[in-house]
Amino acid sequence: MGRQRPGTPTLEEVAALAGVGRGTVSRVVNNAAGVRDSTRRAVRQAITELGYVPNLAARSLAGHRADAVALVMTEPDWRLFGEPFFTEVVHAVGDALTDTPVQLLLTLVRTDTERQRFVEYARGGRVDGVLLMSVHAEDALPDMLAKAGLPTVMLGRRSGDETITYVDADNTAGARGAVAHLLDTGRTTIGAVSGPLDMYVAQCRLRGYREALEGAGVTPASSLVVEGSDFTEQSGRRAMADLISRRPELDAVFAASDTLAAGALDALRAAGRRVPRDVAVIGFDDVHPARPTDPPLTTVRQPLGEIGRTMVRLLLEEMEDSPAGRRSVVLPTELVVRDSA
């Protein structure tokens, strides 16, 4: 068992050495106002002399806060942990917390054992709030935390009527803009490689595709839409192969993720199509910065940095406020034109 070495100086000892009361030392340590400057100096001196460091367990117990928040990655496939998507968010969250006294704790939750342990950790008061990344629709963790009354902010939504505070990209508008761009550049027969429609993000992106077509007076043909079974490149290849055989005349494709787009690209080439000349491809840029593709694709980019910062802002608000109304945020995406599609 580790913990503070025995012999670690306490507030009391500092007070004794400085010749003041414990309350005063506490005020100095916490930079509270109402302490004479000379006293403050004397206390600081004693602190330095003794090498005093506050016992955080005692502080938590008495102060009812942990000064820490957890950023949880609930991902059975831990390899995704290394994706630029997540590192970018982690970075932004770290930055947003840098000027606060709040310690950021990253946590991996892969199994039910780990889920249980983390919930006890959080409910036990070791963190004041929780940020959730990569939440799957069927994950029990978000509701466990909500039920425990812990301030929680999610990256993305699980459904249209998400009950937990979230920060999401405007997937619908992003997809709509992408398809509108394709229409603007003269493409007429635009296919869609959708993600699995049991995921809300896939629903939104497909909706955006449809809305853009309808906005242009085109009725979206179901023969132009293929649903991938997941977001992998392989799904993209299969879906695209399917799409070409069904509608060989298509001249553009909207893919619901960068991985699906990469797969679609493979399939198009295998079918002898040139991209973007014969067929233009636009995909979402989920793991910004995007994996290099050749040719570079026009993408819909999520503002990951801002997403991370916003998550922190909402979390801090929830931590301070009384249970005010949830105010989730949906951030705009950006169309990054990289080809002459």
CA dist., res. 67 & res. 92, Å (int): 19
CA dist., res. 154 & res. 311, Å (int): 7
Smallest separation (angstroms) from its own copies to the CB of 300: 22
Judge contact between 31 and 101, C-beta under 8 A.
no
CA dist., res. 57 & res. 78, Å (int): 31
29 binds, among DNA, its own copies, none (CB under 5 to 8 A by kind): DNA
CA dist., res. 326 & res. 191, Å (int): 37
Q: Does 48 bind its own copies (CB under 8 A)?
A: no
Q: Does 16 bind DNA (CB under 7 A)?
A: no
Of 27, 157, 237, 301, which lies in the binding site for DNA, with binding defined by CB under 7 A? Answer: 27
Nearest to 242 by CA among 205, 287, 278, 191: 191
Judge contact between 102 and 168, C-beta under 8 A.
no
Pick the stretch among 16-24, 85-93, 279-287, 313-321 that binds DNA (CB under 7 A).
16-24
87 binds, among its own copies, DNA, none (CB under 5 to 8 A by kind): its own copies
Nearer Cβ to its own copies (4/340): 4
Of 23, 48, 78, 277, which lies in the binding site for its own copies, with binding defined by CB under 8 A? Answer: 78
293 binds, among DNA, its own copies, none (CB under 5 to 8 A by kind): none
10 binds, among DNA, its own copies, none (CB under 5 to 8 A by kind): DNA
- Alpha carbon of 49 to those of 8, 13, 143: distances in Å? 12, 11, 48
Q: Does 76 bind its own copies (CB under 8 A)?
A: no
Cα torsion 247, 334, 96, 81 to 10°: value is 20
Judge contact between 42 and 49, C-beta under 8 A.
no
Q: Does 66 bind DNA (CB under 7 A)?
A: no
Question: Mask: binding to DNA, 36-55, rule CB under 7 A, as x and -?
Answer: x-xxx-----------x-xx
CA dist., res. 139 & res. 141, Å (int): 6
Q: Give the type of residue at 177.
A: G
Binding positions for its own copies, rule: CB under 8 A: 1-5, 53-61, 64-66, 68, 78-79, 81-84, 86-87, 90-91, 94, 98, 101, 103-108, 110-111, 113-114, 117-118, 120-121, 123-129, 148-151, 318-320
Binding positions for DNA, rule: CB under 7 A: 4, 8, 10-12, 19-24, 26-27, 29-30, 33-36, 38-40, 52, 54-55, 58-59, 61-63
